[in-house]
Homo-oligomer: A and B are copies of this chain.
Amino acid sequence: MSATGVRRPARADARRNYDLLLGKAHDVFTEHGTDASLEEIARRSGLGIGTLYRHFPTRDALVEALLRDRFEAMRQAAERVRDEPPYEALAQWLRKFIAGAATYQGLPASVVAIMRQPGSELYASCHGMRDAGLELIAHAQQAHVIRDDLKPTDVLALVGAIAWVGQQTPEDAGQPDRLLALVLDALTAPMKARPTA
């Protein structure tokens, strides 16, 4: 399953560079988002740009290496709460999902893109988290604690959208929680408005 993307090198000097690049990438992504300059990451690491590309052939590979563990933790968290009350389990998990997707500016777009890009590196580790989330939603539907006329992928898309819009207005730190609460209400409410043409 996770024959995933980039591997930490064996040779000591290369491993030092790998770790250095990852650390600086985290700093730069934190400051400027996932679209930040790769050359700046290499520059701050005191390494040639070619070295960055050797270790991380794509931008996504770099992002994936940074988030791999976090995504895996989210996947496990979803499995762990499977026997708990499904509604609160789901609510808590979605809250963490939003926080995780908002780790870097621009990350929600990548996370949402998982829905259709099962191929690339980032998405191998991210997909595990996604599937676990979808199962959590389906589980709550089977337990009839949320309405069952919704696609689980729609729910995840909407929550990802909340993560995105929360990043657009960083001065209002409470917005994502308020919007999630609203959506959670919708999940328990009966269907009134029909999508008309």
Contacts and interface: CB of A to CB of B under 8 A. Distances in A.
Given A154-B175, A157-B165, A182 B186 contact: yes
B195 A191 contact: no
A32 interface: no
Given A184-B193, A195-B178, A158 B165 contact: yes
Given A178-B195, A181-B194, A193-B91, A165 B169 contact: no
Copy tally for this chain in the complex stands at: 2
Chain A facing B: main interface SS: helix
A183 interface: yes
A186 B115 CA distance: 24
Contact of A168 (B113, B162, B178): B113
A169 B91 contact: no
A189 interface: yes
Interface in A169-197: 169, 171, 174-175, 177-186, 188-196
The size class of the interface chain A forms with chain B is 35 or more
A174 B137 CA distance: 20
Contacts of A154: 175, 178-179, 182
Given A179-B154, A182-B183, A188-B192, A168 B109 contact: yes
B193 A185 contact: yes
A194 to B, nearest CB: 6
Interface in A127-144: none
27 contacts: A91-B193, A112-B169, A113-B168, A150-B182, A151-B178, A154-B175, A157-B168, A157-B169, A157-B179, A158-B161, A158-B162, A158-B179, A158-B182, A158-B183, A160-B165, A161-B161, A161-B179, A164-B165, A180-B195, A181-B193, A181-B194, A183-B186, A185-B192, A185-B193, A186-B186, A188-B189, A188-B192
